[in-house]
Amino acid sequence: GREKRRLFVLSRGRHPNSCLVCLMPFVSVLDTSERPTRFSFSQATLLGWAPDGGMFWPESVPKLNKSELLTWAELTYPQLVGALLKRFVASSEDDLSHADIDAIMEVAFVSFGSASIVELKELKDLRVLELWHGRSLAFKDLGMSVLGAILSLLLEK
């Protein structure tokens, strides 16, 4: 109780590692102040949770138009994940560049047992998306493969 309250009060001010000028800032869902503390994608990824205990959320969610969606429909799974990530990472971000994201997408899914990463199978009148081609044979491999590669790169830097 009291210990938790003190931590919350201490974290209400600007965090020393906060991103003062972020093109795509992330904020805590618990920070309802007019000027919330902003964090870059890299900072939010490395911290995991905001200093006030809240989850990170993009300050604004990028909008997609129909032509982008049609273009993305032709991408491979790694290309699509990379394109999505780039919408949330400022191209000027020092810790994680768009070139870094491209490199991560080259290696993130190499351990998957399927060249297409996810496969759409047709069974009579039903379509089933197979999400179990990763190391642990579970859907979580899709996200964890990318997160692991991002964390490895950020920790190296």
C-alpha 12 chain-centroid distance: 24
pLDDT tens-digit map of 17-31 = 444 444 567 888 888
Q: pTM above the 0.75 mark?
A: no
Contacts of 104 (CB under 8 A, 6+ apart): 82, 146, 149, 150, 153
CA dist 130 and 135 (Å) reads 14
pLDDT tens-digit map of 56-72 = 988 888 888 999 999 99
